[in-house]
Amino acid sequence: MPYDYDKCVAVVTGGSSGIGLATVRLLLESGARVAFCARNESRLNEVAAVLKRDFGDDTVLTQAFSVLDRDAVQGFADLVHQTWGRCDLLVNNAGQGRISTFEDTTDDDWRAEYELKLFSQVLPVRVFLPMLREAGGAIVAVNSLLAYQPEPHMVCTSSARAGVQNLLKSLSVELAPEVRVNSVLLGLIGSGQWTRRFAEREDQSVSRAEWYGALAEKKGIPLGRLGEAEEAAHAIAFLGSRAASYITGAQLEVSGGLSRHI
Ligand code: NDP
C-alpha cells in the first residue's frame, strides 16, 4: 500500500477527473474507502463503476452536486455519516481557474470566482468538521502557486487563491489539535484545463509530450515538463496520511520548480 489509510474514510470533492480522480484512486489503493462528488452525473457514474470493479462495491460512494450548493454538501456529509459513520480526510479539490485580465473581468466574474474559491473550502469544511474532529482527521486543500505568484492573465483566480491560503492558515490554528489543515500549491499539472487546451492544439500532429515540453520551456519550468495528476495525488495523500502527523498549516509545492519565492 502506498500510504496507510487502513480503516479510514476519505472525501474528495471533484473526484471524477484529473487530480481528484488520481487522488481517489491512490487513496483506494492505500486502503481507504472514498466518497467523492462532481456535478456531471454520467461521468461520475462511469468513473465510479470502474473504481467499484477495481476495488469493490463497498469502497466507493458518489453523489452528483456542486460544492457551492450548501444543502447538497450537507446532504453528502449526512450520507457519508449514515454509510460509514466517519471521515478521516477531506480533500477540497473541486474547481477550475478563470483566465482574465483586470480589464476583462466583470464584477460578476469577480463574485463568481471568489464564491467558487472560498466556498468550495468553507462549505465542505463546515459540514465534515464534526466527523473530522471525532476521527482526529485532516484536511488537504488543492490550491495553486498563483496564491503567491500571481499571473496578470489570471487576475481574479490569483487573488482568490491568496485569500484561500490565508483562510487555511487560520483554520490550521483554530482546528488544532484535533484536525490538521494543509495545502498543495500546484504549478502546471497535465489535467483539466491543460488536457482541454492540448486537445484543441493548432497542430494536431504534435504529441502530448512535445506539446507539454514546449509549454514547460515557455513557462520556464526547471524540470522541463508539466506534472502528472498522479504526482499531485501523491502530495495530497501524503499530507492527509498518518506519515504527516506533525504537519499542519503547511503548503507543499508541486510545480516542477516553477516557484520563484523562497
Ligand atoms: P479537472 O477539470 O480535470 O477536474 C475538476 C474536477 O472538479 C472534476 O471532477 C469536476 O467535475 C469537478 N468540479 C468542478 N467544479 C465543481 C463544482 N462546483 N462542484 C463539484 N465538482 C466540481 O481539473 P484538475 O484536476 O486539473 O484540477 C483540480 C483542481 O486543481 C481544481 O480546483 C483546479 O482549479 C486546481 N488546479 C489545477 C491546476 C492544473 O494545472 N491542472 C493548477 C492549479 C490549480 P464536474 O465538472 O462534473 O463538476
Residue 123 lies in a domain: yes
Residue 243 lies in a domain: yes
Residue 102 lies in a domain: yes
Centroid of ligand 1 to alpha carbon of 16 (angstroms)? 9
77-111 pLDDT tens trace: 999 999 999 999 999 999 999 999 999 999 999 99
CATH number of the domain that residue 105 is part of? 3.40.50.720
pLDDT recorded at residue 87: 99
pLDDT recorded at residue 260: 85
Confidence band for 32, pLDDT divided at 50, 70 and 90? very high
Residue 213 lies in a domain: no
Centroid of ligand 1 to alpha carbon of 2 (angstroms)? 24
Centroid of ligand 1 to alpha carbon of 78 (angstroms)? 23
Residue whose CA lies nearest to ligand 1 atom number 7: 14
Residue 222 lies in a domain: no
| Radius of gyration of the CA atoms of the chain, in A | 18
Residue whose CA lies nearest to ligand 1 atom number 24: 192
Q: Is the CB of 256 under 6 A from ligand 1?
A: no
Residue 3 lies in a domain: no
pLDDT recorded at residue 118: 98
144-170 pLDDT tens trace: 999 999 999 999 999 999 999 999 999
464584477: which residue's cell? Answer: 107
Residue whose CA lies nearest to ligand 1 atom number 2: 192
Residue 221 lies in a domain: no
Does the pLDDT value for residue 1 go beyond 90?
Answer: no
Confidence band for 261, pLDDT divided at 50, 70 and 90? confident
Ligand 1 pocket, mutate which of 19, 168, 259 (most atoms under 8 A from CB): 19
Centroid of ligand 1 to alpha carbon of 55 (angstroms)? 23
**At 17, phi and psi to the nearest 5?**
-155, 160
Centroid of ligand 1 to alpha carbon of 229 (angstroms)? 11
Residues 6 or more apart in contact with residue 69 via CB below 8 angstroms? none
Q: What is the pTM of this model?
A: 0.98
Ligand 1 pocket, mutate which of 96, 146, 198, 231 (most atoms under 8 A from CB): 96
Residue 59 lies in a domain: yes
Q: Is the CB of 145 under 6 A from ligand 1?
A: no
Residues 6 or more apart in contact with residue 162 via CB below 8 angstroms? 146, 147, 148, 150
Q: Is the CB of 149 under 6 A from ligand 1?
A: no
Q: Is the CB of 230 under 6 A from ligand 1?
A: no
| Domain count within the chain | 1
Q: What is the span of the domain harbouring residue 99?
A: 9-187+227-247
Instruction: Judge contact between 165 and 117, C-beta under 8 A.
Output: no
